[in-house]
Structure 1
Amino acid sequence: MLATTRNTLIQLAEIQHQLQTIHEFFNKWQTNPWGFKEEYLSEKVLVRFLKYETESFANREWEAHRKEIDLHIILQGSERIYLEDATKLTEGIYHEKEDYYLLEGPSNHFITLSSAIDQENSLFLWPTEAHKTGVNVTDEAVMVKKMVFKIKY
């Protein structure tokens, strides 16, 4: 279920073309997977293939963006992603070229993404929605493989 506002629906309509580009790429990749680290799908869409082991909350970093929307799709493993409004955290230096800034602070809000069937496997993040990815779901680290789509906004 997605609870949202009319304003968010308008924002989604504004990026409909980029979402279609992502959908087409992902379907093509699922049909015939190929290895890649990063691909530009258009002027406004970049996809990165990430592979890492999960860690404790303390060992991971908060980040947020000002001009990009993130779409995370997990392909293997499971991870906890902590979420917080960036204005509720202490903001670090903004890196304009890469469009990210690190933050510090606590949060009890999280979502668990998993590649298991019938589990939540994707997360859509608007600019200024801070996220701390790659956190262990249990005490054991697991290998995560996922795609992160960056949509210029």
Structure 2
Amino acid sequence: MIYNKFSYKKFEEEFLQKIFEFLEKNDVSKFENGRYDIDKDNLFLNIATYNTTTPENRVWEAHKEYIDVHMMIKGKEKMCTAFIENVNITEYHEDSDYVEISDIKGDISQIVLNEGEYLVCYPQDVHKTACIVEKEEEVKKAIFKVRV
């Protein structure tokens, strides 16, 4: 897991270099909701606008085939995280690369993702997004999907 600001641009990870090259050429804050292919299924972007809610209304998720790079464009949300070895996996949906999780056995961490910040979730990083920080609010987020 990596938690950082857009303004910090020294990367060890090649995929982050590609993402920030894309961001230098494109103002994603003006993109409509939906999927945008950057390198076919190897690297693509989902733009999503939604309202935050209570953690009880959200589900845990993880992925086997993709790294998620969550970048907050507008608003803020709390993201809960845990490690994959500390969860019970109910089912894996290969068509959508979605790991269904029924129970967390270990510690949970919480991160507030503010405008201008990003969180990288690797396949071992279970996460719950869209949780209220102080009150319900509309957020706009860019989620880059990077094939492992």
- TM-based fold match above 0.5: yes
Q: 1:89 & 1:46 partners in 2: Cα distance?
A: 27
Q: 2:30 & 2:71 partners in 1: Cα distance?
A: 15
Partner of 2:131: 135
Partner of 2:144: 149
Whether the 8 Å CA contact 1:73–1:122 is kept in 2: the answer is: yes
Q: 2:55 & 2:31 partners in 1: Cα distance?
A: 32
Whether the 8 Å CA contact 2:66–2:147 is kept in 1: the answer is: yes
Relative to structure 1, the CA distance from residue 109 to residue 32 in structure 2 (aligned partners, 3 Å threshold; closer, same or farther) is: closer
The alignment of Structure 1 onto Structure 2 pairs a total of residues equal to 136
Partner of 1:65: 63
Q: 2:121 & 2:22 partners in 1: Cα distance?
A: 19
Partner of 1:24: 21
When normalised by structure 2's length, the TM-score is 0.82
Matches within 5 A, 1:29-40: 29-30=26-27, 33-40=30-37
- Which structure has greater helix proportion? 1
Q: 1:95 & 1:72 partners in 2: Cα distance?
A: 21
Q: 1:19 & 1:137 partners in 2: Cα distance?
A: 27
What one-letter code is carried by the residue in structure 2 that aligns with 1:58? E
Q: 1:42 & 1:112 partners in 2: Cα distance?
A: 29
1:90 deviates by: 1.6
When normalised by structure 1's length, the TM-score is 0.80
Identity %: 27
Structure 2 alignment gaps of length 5 or more: 3-10
Partner of 2:111: 111
Moved over 6 A (4+): none
Q: Looking at CA atoms only, which structure, 1 or 2, has the larger radius of gyration?
A: 1
Which of residues 93, 96, 99 is equivalent to 1:95? 93
1:36 deviates by: 4.7
Give the root-mean-square deviation of aligned CA atoms.
2.1
- Which structure has greater strand proportion? 2
Structure 1 alignment gaps of length 5 or more: 3-11
Secondary structure class of the residue paired with 2:72: strand
